[in-house]
């Protein structure tokens, strides 16, 4: 999940308002109090100085020994500090629960409708593929596709995951669907 968020962060940049005037070291520039500063998280996440071979998917970048080799603020999918995204932990847990459930029951492949590499919509608020991401979803080898055994529907936490399972269950005939 961290490597996917590095390559495809939810937001292309973060904004902060300067609380005190700041002289940028080694330049003649000053950021004035009240100025809005944009931090390009996409640029940081794809900078070879912090992430060698940045276009390659390499989950090992986030192993315990590797993540300490780069500056703390080079990876900002949810921001950092007191303004970090309040939903970060819930979102990561929901993604992991959903992925485990989906990948244990279905096989996914990219449809020919999906542009590779992904072309982002330049006017979208969040990072999203310009023409969508189209997937073929097939039942797993064991033919399972029902989510009822995995989820307790009385627990609201699982509602979003359950809806995702239902969408996959209905699409499991192998049709190319938009995610």
pLDDT of residue 145: 53
Let me know whether 63 and 107 are in one domain.
Answer: no
- Backbone φ and ψ for 110, nearest 5 degrees, come out as -80, 135
**How much is the pTM?**
0.65
pLDDT of residue 166: 43
Total number of domains in the chain:
2
| Annotated binding-site positions | 85
pLDDT of residue 142: 60
Let me know whether 56 and 107 are in one domain.
Answer: no
Let me know whether 11 and 74 are in one domain.
Answer: yes
Q: How far is CA 80 from the centre of its chain?
A: 16
- Per residue, the 3-state secondary structure of the chain, as one string, reads CHHHHHHCCCCCCEEEECCCCEECCCCCCEECCCCEEEECHHHHHCCCCCCCCCCCCCHHHHCHHHHCCCCHHHCCECECHHHCCCCHHHHHHHHHHHHHHHHHHEEEEECCCCCCCCCECCCCCCCCECCCCEEEEEECCCCCCCCCCCCCCCCHHHHHHHHHHHHHHHHCEEEEEEC
Let me know whether 134 and 167 are in one domain.
Answer: yes
Domain extent for 116: 88-178
Q: Which segments in the chain show pLDDT lower than 70?
A: 141-179
pLDDT of residue 143: 55
Q: How many residues does the chain have?
A: 179
| Annotated binding-site positions for heme | 85
Let me know whether 48 and 110 are in one domain.
Answer: no
Last residue of a domain, one of 53, 83, 113: 83
């Amino acid at each position: 999940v961290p490597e996917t968020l590095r390559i495809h962060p939810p937001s292309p940049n973060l904004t902060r308002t300067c609380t005190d005037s700041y002289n940028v070291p080694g330049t003649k520039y000053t950021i004035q109090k009240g100025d809005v500063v944009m931090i390009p998280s996409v640029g940081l996440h794809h900078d070879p100085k912090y992430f060698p071979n940045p276009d390659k998917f390499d989950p090992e970048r986030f192993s315990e020994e590797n993540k300490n080799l780069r500056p703390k603020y080079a990876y900002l999918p949810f921001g950092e500090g007191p303004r970090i995204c309040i939903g970060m932990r819930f979102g990561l847990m929901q993604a992991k629960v959903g992925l485990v459930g989906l990948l244990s029951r279905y096989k996914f492949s990219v449809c020919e409708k999906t542009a590779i590499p992904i072309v982002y919509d330049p006017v979208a608020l969040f990072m999203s593929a310009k023409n969508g991401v189209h997937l073929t979803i097939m039942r797993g080898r064991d033919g399972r596709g029902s989510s009822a055994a995995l989820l307790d529907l009385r627990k609201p936490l699982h509602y979003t995951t359950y809806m995702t399972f239902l969408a996959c269950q209905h699409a499991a005939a192998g049709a190319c669907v938009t995610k």
